[in-house]
Amino acid sequence: MGLFDTIRAVLGTSAEADATRDADPEDLFGISTAYVTMEADLGFRSVGAAALCFSGVDSTDFEATVDDVEAILRAGEEETGTTFDVREDSHGWEWVVLRDDDPEDLVTSVHFAADEFRERGYGSRLLAAVFGFEREGDGDRAYWIYSFRRGAYYPFAPERGKERNQRLEFKLESVLDGELELEGDESYWYPMWPDRDGGHPWD
């Protein structure tokens, strides 16, 4: 099994088969208070961006759904100041990437996008919502990833060279346990490496 197949298995069909609870877009709002905890207790601030990852379908109806998601986000752009773009990465996954200095706006926009996919019957195509953080001083990055197939969050702390800072990941788990619905099986804490060194998972 290659790297791409492994990612698909963990975030895709096998995760769905092994799911312990149904995903709920309302879970996404839990990250709102986590932003406060991450900064106050751990010194991590928002990177000013978040993203929704999904796998596409070759159909005109799905393309129309993506167009509707973009229309919803564009309608809210003037009110919230949240900008966005839709892109495909080297794995063939598609991303709605949102940028805003206000974490509340990011969470709301991710929720709107995810909810539209579900309303249109494509909730099964949603893979993950990714929220980025960076620590002042050392520049360490950390991400909270919500797996739609598992209905839970898990931490991801990448280092250069595609290494993981597992000590930080366990620290994040310890601090946010009880505040977020966490994935208890660490085999599902799958890394989402960026296409470029030093980038975000959606880059």
Please tell me the total count of domains within the chain: 1
Is 200 a domain residue? no
Q: How far apart are CA 66 and CA 64, in angstroms?
A: 5
How many angstroms separate the Cα of 160 from the Cα of each of 21, 163, 164, 193, 196?
33, 6, 8, 10, 10
Render pLDDT for 138-195 as a digit per residue (tens, 0 to 9): 889 999 999 999 999 999 999 987 899 999 999 999 999 999 999 999 999 999 999 8
pLDDT at residue number 163: 92
The pLDDT mean for the chain works out to: 89
Is 197 a domain residue? no
What's the mean pLDDT in 22-26? 76
Is 52 a domain residue? yes
Render pLDDT for 103-129 as a digit per residue (tens, 0 to 9): 999 999 999 999 999 999 999 999 999
Domain hosting residue 117, numbered range: 3-188
pLDDT at residue number 83: 97
pTM above 0.85, yes or no: yes
Residue 20 pLDDT more than 80?
no
Handedness of CA 199, 91, 123, 59 (dihedral sign): positive
Contact, 197 vs 160, CB < 8 A?
yes
Using pLDDT thresholds of 50, 70 and 90, give the confidence band for residue 21. low
Using pLDDT thresholds of 50, 70 and 90, give the confidence band for residue 11. low
DSSP assignment letter at 19: -
First-to-last C-alpha distance (Å) of the chain: 24
Is 128 a domain residue? yes
Is 201 a domain residue? no
- Between 71 and 16, residue with greater pLDDT: 71
Render pLDDT for 63-78 as a digit per residue (tens, 0 to 9): 999 999 999 999 989 8
Residue 100 pLDDT more than 80?
yes
Token couple for 149:
């197939």
